[in-house]
Amino acid sequence: MIKVLSVLVIILCGTQVYGLSPDSIPFHQEKGWGVSIGFGLLSANAGNEYQGEIGSQGSIAGLYHLGKGHALGLGIGTQLPSLSSGMLHYPLFMQYQYFLNSKPNIKLGTKAGYSFASVNVDRNIYVAEGGWMVEPFVGIKINRSQDWAWNFELGLLYQELYYQFGDLDITGNEEVQDWKLWRFVFRTTIDL
């Protein structure tokens, strides 16, 4: 985690040195429609064998910028709670974000919605149910041009998931995992 934060600080400092400061370019997308595309990593979570692994997520959200820094929209994504488990779910969420009138541009926001889980017979996942999710986040925006902006975000994801593992056809063994996850999310997004 310290390595990730160190890289973010180096990138942010480098943009200031090379003249890409937020004051040189107008506020991105003051009013109107925009798209936010993101990729992130989920921190490891103590618990069972899969919850202790790093996960990943990707998302796309259509946002309407209401002016004065406010934006509201809908998005869809994909999440792997752990990279080796074979569990996959698809969050459908509403997103609200607000840009503070500060230098650098600080973004506050939240995502809330429902994740739909998928069955994966190759990994012995026979029953998969999604659940509610909420993720407040804070970020920093680097204005690259009037057409797009680059963001770094840190969020705290609460996610409910239910999975049933086992080879039900042969032995009848079942392993039920009812997860209520709290995980940090390190994400980078591009706003168009």
Q: What mean pLDDT is reported for the chain?
A: 77
Residue 145 maps to a domain: yes
Whether residue 135 lies inside any domain: the answer is yes
CATH code for the domain of 174: 2.40.160.20
Strands annotated E in the chain = 32-42, 55-67, 70-80, 88-99, 105-118, 125-129, 131-143, 149-165, 175-191
Burial call 30-68: b when 16+ CB within 10 Å, e when fewer: eeeebbbebebbbeebeeeebbeebbebebebebebeee
- 23 within domain boundaries: no
Residue 11: pLDDT band with limits 50, 70, 90:
low
Q: Considering the domain boundaries, does residue 14 fall inside one?
A: no
pTM across the whole model: 0.75
Between CA 99 and CA 184 the distance in angstroms is: 21
pLDDT confidence band for 59 (50 / 70 / 90): very high
Cα–Cα distance measured from residue 163 to residue 38, given in angstroms and rounded to the nearest whole number: 26
pLDDT band of 20, cuts 50, 70, 90: very low
State the residue range of the domain holding 177: 33-191
In a domain, 12, yes or no: no
Give residue 109's pLDDT: 95
Could you read off the pLDDT of 69-101 as tens digits, one per residue?
899 999 999 988 777 667 788 999 999 999 887
Rounded Cα–Cα distance for residues 69 and 99 (Å):
5
Whether 119 maps to a domain, the answer reads: yes
Q: Is residue 5 domain-resident?
A: no
The two three-digit tokens of residue 64, written as one number = 């309407």
What is the pLDDT averaged over residues 27-50? Answer: 76
Give the pLDDT of residue 24: 44
Contact 156, 184 (CB under 8 A): yes
User: What are all long-range contacts of 11-16, with beta carbons under 8 Å and residues at least 24 apart?
Assistant: 11/152, 12/104, 12/140, 12/142, 12/152, 15/142
**Cα separation of 75 and 94, whole Å?**
6
pLDDT value at residue 176: 66
> Would residue 16 count as lying in a domain?
no
Contacts of 150 (CB under 8 A, 6+ apart): 141, 142, 144, 188, 189, 190, 191
How many domains does the chain contain in total? Answer: 1
Distances from the Cα of 29 to the Cαs of 22, 39, 114, 140, in angstroms?
A: 13, 21, 28, 15
